């Protein structure tokens, strides 16, 4: 008699055919599950689309909101959601704008209707409409002048969303720079911080406004401007000079923000900027101490990524047909020392290279790398050299 009990699966299957069959079955089951889920989602989306025309306001409102939960999958509902922006109920209009925002970049056709919604009498509709236009991104360029007007909305939450959305639209919103520059000086902290992020999102066109903000009388504006500049690629010498001058600011939090920005975009400044950041770890000011710690961590991460990228590039050159290119890559890796450990396997292969410069260079670099694999390769190479021919 076979005992009845819990089923036990042996995942340590050794037989190659059974193993392949097991994983093939698992893969097919996974694909089947995805198909079933997709069909269920499509069915539910179509059901909710039907509810958008229900006589009951509560049903229409919930349907619009639930469609937003499906994100880009609810693309098919966009025309109906656009119609819902004209619904008699503010709750339906609000949730329709919310859903279009969740659909995001795929909802570009809704931009004209969302622009109209920016003038809605209900502030929650305007709030979701401003947010939706930001989620759509660059395709919402036509909304920029209207979002600029919305920055002065009577409701501060709408203002915050309008500022944020201008940054999400990006370089296409460059005409908003003067307004965002003024928003940097707002008494509302959320408007200030979102204005800074928006200016960095717009990019190079926002640099003059951010440089001016480095001289503002408000220390929060100065440090926010410095942080925003660090988010813009390839800063000009003029901008770097303005940031460098800010390293002598009379407020420690501003100096730390400027140091963090410069350390990221100008490696030649590291001697001074890293000292400022390291010293700030002992600051009595909680913000300064926390921001310095965060910045140092991010700088280390960026450095690690840059090194990894450089090593990968040099590894490709190690396999070039031209011996001179292989040798130059080895020399570059040698200068990196332990950071070149990611190239150990490739360097080992070159120990037998037909070009003596390449083989001896690879040996020299491996000697400088402290890893078991490199040490073993070096010892093996030396042993073979000692053996008589």
Q: Tell me the pLDDT tens digit for each residue of 51-92.
A: 999 999 999 999 999 999 999 999 999 999 999 999 999 999
Structure tokens at 140: 């919402």
CB 307 within 8 A of CB 298: no
- Nearest alpha carbon to residue 378 among 368, 363, 360: 363
Tens-place pLDDT, residues 111-164: 999 999 999 999 999 999 999 999 999 999 999 999 999 999 999 999 999 999
Q: How confident is the model at residue 4 (pLDDT cuts 50, 70, 90)?
A: very low
**DSSP string covering 57-68, please?**
HHHHHHHHHHHH
Distance CA 150, CA 148 (A): 5
CA-wise closest residue to 324 among 357, 352, 359: 357
Q: Write out pLDDT tens, residues 102-124.
A: 999 999 999 999 999 999 999 99
CA dihedral 75, 79, 80, 81 (to 10 degrees): 70
Q: Residue 247 pLDDT > 90, yes or no?
A: yes
Question: At a CB cut-off of 8 Å and minimum separation 6, what does 96 contact?
Answer: 64, 81, 82, 84, 85, 87
Pull the structure tokens for residue 231: 């988010």
Domains of the chain, CATH where assigned: 319-386 (1.25.10)
Rounded to the nearest angstrom, the gap between the alpha carbon of residue 152 and the centroid of all alpha carbons in its chain is 29
d(CA 374, CA 344): 6
Residue 152's pLDDT is what? 94
Name the most confidently modeled range: 86-90, 304-308, 340-344, 360-364.
Answer: 86-90
- Dihedral (Cα; 6, 10, 11, 16), 10-degree rounding: -150
- Classified as helix, coil or strand, 368 is coil
> With left for phi above 0 and alpha for psi between -120 and 50, is residue 239 left, alpha or beta?
alpha
pLDDT given at position 381: 78
Say yes or no to pLDDT of 226 above 70.
Answer: yes
The pLDDT score that the predictor gives to residue 13 is 46
d(CA 330, CA 202): 41
H-only helix segments in 154-229: 156-169, 177-183, 189-202, 207-213, 219-229
Pairwise CA distance, residues 210 & 227, whole Å = 10
Residue 215 has which token pair? 């001289």
What is the structure's pLDDT at 19? 61
> How many Cα atoms sit within 13 Å of 193 on the Cβ side?
3
Helix axes 252-265, 237-246, angle to 10 degrees: 150
What is the average pLDDT score of the chain?
Answer: 87
Structure tokens at 24: 């093939």
| 18's tokens | 């059974």
Distance CA 61, CA 380 (A): 74
Q: Residue 370, class by beta-carbon neighbours within 10 Å (0-12 exposed, 13-18 middle, 19+ buried)? A: exposed
CA atoms within 13 A on the CB side of 48: 28
Are 359 and 352 spatial neighbours (Cβ–Cβ below 8 Å)?
yes
Report the C-alpha gap between 248 and 258 in whole angstroms: 9
The burial of 13, by beta-carbon neighbours within 10 Å (0-12 exposed, 13-18 middle, 19 or more buried), is given as middle
Dist CA 31 CA 33 (whole Å): 5
Which residues, including other chains, have CB under 8 Å from residue 199's CB and lie 6 or more apart?
Answer: 167, 177, 180, 181, 184, 206, 209, 210, 228
By the 8 A CB rule, do 148 and 177 touch? no
pLDDT at 15 (0 to 100): 54
Contact 148, 176 (CB under 8 A): yes
């Amino acid at each position: 008699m076979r005992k009845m009990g819990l089923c036990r699966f042996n995942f340590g299957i050794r037989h190659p055919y059974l193993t392949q069959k097991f994983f093939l079955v698992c893969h097919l089951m996974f694909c089947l599950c995805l198909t079933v889920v997709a069909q269920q989602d499509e069915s539910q989306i179509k059901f909710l689309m039907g509810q958008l025309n229900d006589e009951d306001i509560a049903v229409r409102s919930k349907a619009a909101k639930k469609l937003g939960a499906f994100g880009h999958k609810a693309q098919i509902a966009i025309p109906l959601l656009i119609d819902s922006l004209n619904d008699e109920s503010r709750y339906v209009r609000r949730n329709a704008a919310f859903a279009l925002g969740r659909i995001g970049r795929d909802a570009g056709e809704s931009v004209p209707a969302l622009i109209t919604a920016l003038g809605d009498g209900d502030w929650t509709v305007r709030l979701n409409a401003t947010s939706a236009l930001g989620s759509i991104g660059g395709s919402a360029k036509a909304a920029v002048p209207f979002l600029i007007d919305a920055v002065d909305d009577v409701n501060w939450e709408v203002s915050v969303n309008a500022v944020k959305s201008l940054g999400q639209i990006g370089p296409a919103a460059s005409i908003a720079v003067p307004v965002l520059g003024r928003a940097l000086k707002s008494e509302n902290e959320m408007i200030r911080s979102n204005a800074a992020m928006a200016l960095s999102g717009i990019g190079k066109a926002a640099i003059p406004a951010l440089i001016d903000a480095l001289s503002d009388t408000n220390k929060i504006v100065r440090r926010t401007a410095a942080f925003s500049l660090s988010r813009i690629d390839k800063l000009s010498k003029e901008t770097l000079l303005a940031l460098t001058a800010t390293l002598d600011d009379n407020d420690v939090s501003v100096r730390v923000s400027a140091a963090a920005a410069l350390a990221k975009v100008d490696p030649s400044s590291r001697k001074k900027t890293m000292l400022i950041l390291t010293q700030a770890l002992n600051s009595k000011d909680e913000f300064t101490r926390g921001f310095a710690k965060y910045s140092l961590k991010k700088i280390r991460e960026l450095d690690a990524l840059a090194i990894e990228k450089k090593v990968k590039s040099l590894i490709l050159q190690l396999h070039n047909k031209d011996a001179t290119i292989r040798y130059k890559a080895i020399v570059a890796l040698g200068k990196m020392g332990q950071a070149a450990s990611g190239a150990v396997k490739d360097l080992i292969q070159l120990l037998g290279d037909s070009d003596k410069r390449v083989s001896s260079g690879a040996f020299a670099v491996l000697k400088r790398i402290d890893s078991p694999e490199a040490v073993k390769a070096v010892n093996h190479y030396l042993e073979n050299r000692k053996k008589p021919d």
